[in-house]
Amino acid sequence: MADVTIKAGNRLPVIARQFLLDDVAVNLTGATVTFNMWRASTGTQVITSGSCTVVTAATGSVEYPWTATDATLAAGEYLASFSASFAGPRILTAPNNGMIVVEILDTTEASWSYTGNPENRTLDACRFVIGDTDSTNQLLMDQEILWLLSQWEDNIYSAGAEGCVAISGKFTRLADSSRSVGDLSISTQYQAQATAYLTRADHLREQADKYGQPTPVYYTDTLGNVFGPSNFSVGMDNYR
């Protein structure tokens, strides 16, 4: 979901980007590059004209090193962009078709893991049915999925469905808030992802109904007669 993820209080990793136009590098020789960032939920600008380093002017490569003040920013989602000012004055923004999504994580012990072993690890199985198996695009923490599993008696499909609803909510909030940042809007792509996860939640609920049916129990008496849910007879509920 996020393009850049950083822990609250940290100043690494730096944000590195390349200025491109139609997939062709922009030569930044003589340009001054700054960094700007807004709180996604409110549109409040939290970094204004932050000083950037032009790593390689010919290829348009730049970096923004977090400052000590930036390290005090609250956990949450932010939207950011780079601006290159040329003589004229002329300004070019990167990216020029959206925003950089920055996620600042709270300083908790939340963790994310996937070992690729859904057959023997319930957490992996639940991640697999949700589709949250990419370590570079983490959607739900281990603790969140384990809590969902505890609520649904380790039924990976029911827990997975609720996990998809939670992920959809994250995308929906991001889509709604992004509309308030300047003239840029990335709400369409996030709303599509939110809808896709709700659709997946419905599919997982169907799987939960299919695989979560109670298993009939049969037993045999001392004479070899088999009894179970299918053994019905006239008067079986009569009392004498």
- Residue 236: the pLDDT is 53
DSSP secondary-structure letter at 3?
S
Show the tokens assigned to 178.
């992004």
Q: Domain spans of the chain?
A: 4-105, 122-211
- Residue 190: the pLDDT is 78
Whole-prediction pTM: 0.50
- Sites in the chain below the pLDDT cut of 70: 1, 108-109, 175-188, 212-240
Q: How crowded is the C-beta side of 207, counted as CA atoms within 13 Å?
A: 17
- Residue 106: the pLDDT is 79
- Residue 105: the pLDDT is 83
**Among candidates 141, 51, 50, which has minimal Cα distance to 103?**
141
Question: How far is CA 67 from its chain centroid?
Answer: 26
Backbone angles phi, psi at 165, to 5 degrees: -65, -40
- Residue 36: the pLDDT is 97
What would be the CATH architecture of the domain defined by 4-105? Sandwich (2.60)
- Residue 239: the pLDDT is 54
- Residue 157: the pLDDT is 95
